[in-house]
């Protein structure tokens, strides 16, 4: 199936997110910073796809139902709703600006007709309700149709208000705001499989929340040293186990993963398992620690494995083996000799995310030059693909790309020196049950699927 994915992965469509009205007047020769996509997330059935951007907006796409008469119509994702989730704020006590950038979005499992999602910027997590309305009440006794209070002297009889059909409207409303619990920047949120609680992680602490309670959270991990000068490590990502509500994992800037069991103690400062690979002393360099920092960690759907991404590799860990990863995949090993310049232009601190496919058999992660990589865990085949308008016309099949480092160069190969480091794919998502992937490339969202009707 991986082979067919290689052959048939084609651009479903590429979307520029609808711009904010304000930017229409600007000469948009390059994307404004606010339009840069900062997170992508499918809901649990893949029918909805949410993106967040640096401007604090959330755009939700909905997959159109299959249409027999029109070819290619299946699977199109169209804009369902757009709303402003976060606004820039100012922390007067610390004289700090708080960016509106959406760091993460997480869908809650659907429990009634409405959809709920959590979105977070650096400090504040919000719970949003997204619901549809196709009827409106008419015939109030005390209000007219515009909602103005009627002159009571004109009300002489009582009537029963009725619901009248109207055009479908998608309404988004803020339901809860979880604020004032993070001193440092929130990097992760994760909904627990108990569907009642979720956690939020910042650089030094992890808090546990009840979805219905905003004025209290429990601090379950705190790695802040008494003296900040002793700080050697920060939390980079955290996630709950998909089935066991007591288990969670968090990754660190030192390349370690810690599995915590909330049944052992209320405070999870002491981990149950520590996943760490001893460093090869012969490879030690100035950059070793920076490139071993884990930028993302994801449980497999089965719950048995962990997928992590560091600067140069993606790794799969078995929950039952702590001393080394089960599998290591080189994402762009050709950059090993370029670390010095990647340090100078700050690229070495880029935080690439990673994703599993629905059956945990293939993993995906991003790279530079708008390239993204896929690795088949069974056949060990891998591929580099490019998300770009020029190289991927709608319905055309994506061609694998190759980066060459000196030596024999084939036609269409791209040399390491001509890679564009400003074009990077940090955020990707894989549909939970099908071969549909969403790739965020700066201000563009690309959705690829492996077949069309
Ligand atoms: C995802 O969204 C679709 C489309 O609205 C909905 O039918 C489905 O129930 C959602 N799935 C979950 C698990 O929330
Ligand atoms: C050590 O460096 C070599 C070549 O530079 C590389 O192939 C190998 O994977 C590195 N080992 C580790 C443990 O990173
Ligand atoms: C990934 O998982 C999905 C869901 O199980 C499956 O349909 C798909 O074929 C898998 N993709 C590959 C390339 O194996």
Residue 280, ligand 2, Cβ within 6 A: yes
- Tell me the three state secondary structure of residue 430: strand
Confidence check: pLDDT of 76 > 70: yes
Supply the pTM of this predicted model.
0.87
Burial of residue 439 (number of CB atoms within 10 Å: 0-12, 13-18, 19+): buried
pLDDT at residue 9, as a whole number? 46
pLDDT at 86 over 80: yes
Q: What is the pLDDT of residue 410?
A: 79
Q: Are 142 and 76 in contact (CB under 8 A)?
A: no
What integer pLDDT is reported at residue 449 of this predicted model? 81
Residue 65 binned pLDDT confidence (cut-offs 50, 70, 90): confident
- Whole-number Å distance between alpha carbons of 235 and 204: 6
Residue with the bigger pLDDT between 280 and 133: it is 133
Asked whether residue 415 carries a pLDDT value surpassing 80, the answer given is yes
Ligand 3 pocket, 435 CB below 6 A?
yes
Q: Rounded to the nearest whole angstrom, what is the distance from the C-alpha of residue 290 to the centroid of ligand 2? A: 15
Residues with Cβ < 8 Å from 355, sequence gap 6 or more?
Answer: 298, 307, 363, 364, 365, 428, 429, 430, 437
Taking the CA of residue 450 as reference, the ligand 3 atom at the shortest distance is: 13
pLDDT band at residue 31 using 50, 70 and 90 as cut-offs: low
Residues 6+ apart with CB under 8 A from 174: 126, 127, 128, 129
Picking from 33-37, 56-60, 215-219, 367-371, which range would have the lowest pLDDT averaged per residue?
33-37
Distance of CA 352 to the CA centre of its chain: 10
Residue among 435, 448, 451 whose CB has most ligand 3 atoms within 8 A, to mutate: 435
- Per-residue pLDDT tens for 301-341? 999 999 999 999 999 999 999 999 999 999 999 999 999 99
Pocket flag, ligand 2, residue 281 (CB < 6 Å): no
Three-state SS at 7: helix
Question: Is residue 362 within 6 Å of ligand 3 at its C-beta?
Answer: yes
Q: Is the pLDDT of residue 18 over 60?
A: no
* pLDDT at 368 (0 to 100): 97
- 176 CA to centre of ligand 2 in angstroms: 47
Ligand 3 centroid to Cα of residue 436, in Å, is: 9
DSSP 399: P
Structure tokens that stand for 225 in this block: 């040293």
Q: Which pLDDT value is given to residue 73?
A: 52
Ligand 1 centre distance from Cα of residue 83 (Å):
19
Provide the pLDDT confidence category of residue 64 given band limits of 50, 70 and 90: confident
Residue 285 pLDDT class (50, 70, 90 cuts): confident
Q: What is the distance between the alpha carbons of residues 201 and 195, in angstroms, rounded to a whole number? A: 18
More confident: 4 or 9: 9
Query: How many other CB atoms are there within 10 angstroms of residue 432's CB atom?
Result: 16
The tens digit of pLDDT for each residue in 352-380 reads 999 999 999 999 999 999 999 999 999 99
Q: Is the CB of 283 under 6 A from ligand 2?
A: yes
- How many residues are recorded in the chain? 453
Lowest mean pLDDT among 38-52, 170-184, 392-406: 392-406
Tokens read off for 332: 């762009």
Two tokens, residue 166: 């109207």
Percent with pLDDT over 90 in the chain: 65
pLDDT at 23 over 80: no
Mean pLDDT of the chain: 87
3-state SS record for 97-166: EECCCCCEEEECCCCCCCEEEEEECCCCEEEEEEEEEEEEEECCCCECCCCCECCHHHCCCCCCCEEEEE
Question: Greater confidence, 240 or 385?
Answer: 240
Question: pLDDT tier at 394 (50, 70, 90 boundaries)?
Answer: low
pLDDT value at 5 more than 80: no
Whether the predicted pLDDT of 211 surpasses 90: yes
From residue 316, alpha-carbon distances to 197, 273, 357, 429 in Å are: 27, 16, 13, 17
Residue 30 pLDDT: 54
- Choose the weakest-confidence range: 170-184, 266-280, 323-337: 266-280
């Amino acid at each position: 199936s991986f082979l067919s994915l290689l052959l048939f992965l084609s651009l479903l469509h590429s979307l520029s997110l609808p711009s904010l009205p304000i930017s229409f007047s600007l000469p948009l020769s390059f994307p404004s910073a606010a339009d840069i996509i900062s997170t992508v997330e499918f809901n649990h059935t893949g029918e909805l796809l949410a993106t967040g951007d640096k401007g604090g907006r959330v755009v939700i796409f909905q997959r159109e139902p299959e249409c027999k008469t029109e070819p290619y119509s299946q699977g199109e994702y169209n804009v369902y709703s757009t709303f402003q989730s976060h606004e820039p704020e100012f922390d007067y006590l610390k004289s700090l600006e708080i960016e509106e950038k959406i760091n993460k979005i997480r869908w809650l499992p659907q429990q009634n007709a409405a959809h709920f999602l959590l979105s977070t910027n650096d400090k504040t997590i919000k719970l949003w309700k997204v619901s549809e309305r196709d009827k409106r009440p008419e015939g109030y006794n005390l209000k007219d149709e515009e909602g103005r209070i009627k002159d009571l002297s004109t009300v002489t009889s009582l009537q029963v208000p009725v619901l009248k059909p109207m055009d479908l409207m998608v309404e988004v409303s803020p339901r809860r705001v979880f604020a004032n619990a993070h001193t440092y920047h929130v990097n992760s949120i994760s909904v627990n499989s108990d569907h009642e609680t979720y956690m939020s992680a910042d650089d030094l602490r992890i808090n546990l929340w009840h979805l219905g309670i905003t004025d209290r959270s429990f601090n379950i991990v705190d790695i802040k040293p008494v003296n900040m000068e002793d700080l050697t490590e920060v939390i980079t990502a955290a996630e709950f186990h998909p089935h066991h509500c007591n288990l969670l994992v968090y990754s660190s800037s030192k390349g370690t993963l810690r599995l915590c069991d909330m049944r052992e103690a209320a405070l999870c400062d002491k981990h149950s398992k520590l996943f760490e690979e001893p460093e090869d002393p012969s490879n030690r360099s100035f950059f070793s620690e920076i490139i071993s920092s884990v930028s993302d960690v994801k449980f497999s759907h089965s719950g048995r494995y962990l997928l992590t991404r560091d600067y140069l590799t993606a790794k799969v860990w078995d929950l039952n083996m702590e001393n080394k990863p089960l599998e290591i995949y080189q994402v762009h090993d050709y950059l090993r000799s370029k670390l010095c310049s990647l340090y100078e232009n700050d690229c070495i601190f880029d935080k690439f995310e990673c994703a599993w496919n629905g059956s945990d058999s293939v993993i995906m992660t991003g790279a530079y030059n708008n390239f993204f990589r896929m690795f088949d865990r069974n056949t060990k085949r891998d591929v580099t693909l490019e998300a770009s308008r020029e190289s991927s016309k709608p319905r055309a099949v994506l061609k694998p790309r190759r980066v060459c480092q000196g030596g024999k160069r084939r036609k269409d190969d791209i040399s390491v020196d001509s890679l564009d480091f400003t074009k990077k794919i940090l955020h990707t998502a894989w549909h939970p049950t099908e071969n549909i992937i969403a790739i965020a490339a700066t201000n563009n969202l690309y959705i690829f699927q492996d077949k069309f009707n």
